[in-house]
Structure 1
Amino acid sequence: MISIFELRHIIEGGFLPLSCSCTVNPDRSLKIKVFEPETGRVELLVTGISTANLGSSRAIANLIGELHSEMAARKVAFV
């Protein structure tokens, strides 16, 4: 099992060159905020992500991929 600190580090690194803040709530769910480092403009904010199924690198990579897809879909919607 991956520690919560490792999980946060992997997720935050998965959005470079954007900045990412991954915080753990008291119920061990995650809040992920992805934003432009220079302007602070929020690109994505997701709360209540369960950590129960994030015990493998594949599961974490799938989550990061889904969130990237969500960000891309939002950008297309605003064009």
Structure 2
Amino acid sequence: MIPISVLCSIVESGFQPLSCERTESHGLLRIEVFDAVTGRVELLLDGVSIEQLTSVRAISDFVGELRTEMSAGRRAFAG
């Protein structure tokens, strides 16, 4: 199992140059990706289970999927 601090660091770095805020509570993540200059929220996920995010590869794949969804113009998802 990847420590939550490492998991969150990988998630945050995956969305640069956008800013990313994340919170963890009871094994669930809330991820908000936004433009720090305009404040525009590009992605908001609430209740993302960390259960399947057990390796660097799994986390990277997850971030890649979210980036694909963002580029498709979707701004919010259910976790």
Q: 1:10-29: CA deviations, max 9, x gaps?
A: 1001100000111102x211
Match of 2:52 in 1: 53
Q: Give deviations 1:13-56, integer Å, cap 9, x for gaps.
A: 1100000111102x211111000011111001011111011110
With normalisation by structure 2, the TM-score equals 0.88
Identity among equivalent pairs (%): 50
The residue that corresponds to 2:14 in the other structure is 14
Partner amino acid for 2:66?
L
CA distance in 2, matches of 1:64, 1:40: 21
Q: Which has the higher strand share?
A: 2
**Secondary structure in 2 matching 1:74:** coil
Aligned to 2:34: 35
Ranges in structure 1 where 5+ consecutive residues have no aligned partner: none
Give the ranges of 4+ consecutive aligned residues of structure 1 lying more than 6 Å apart after TM superposition. none
- The one of the two structures with greater contact order (alpha-carbon pairs below 8 A, sep at least 6) is 2
Q: Structure 1-normalised TM-score?
A: 0.88
1:74 aligns to what?
A: 73
RMSD: 1.1
Alignment coverage as a number of residue pairs: 74
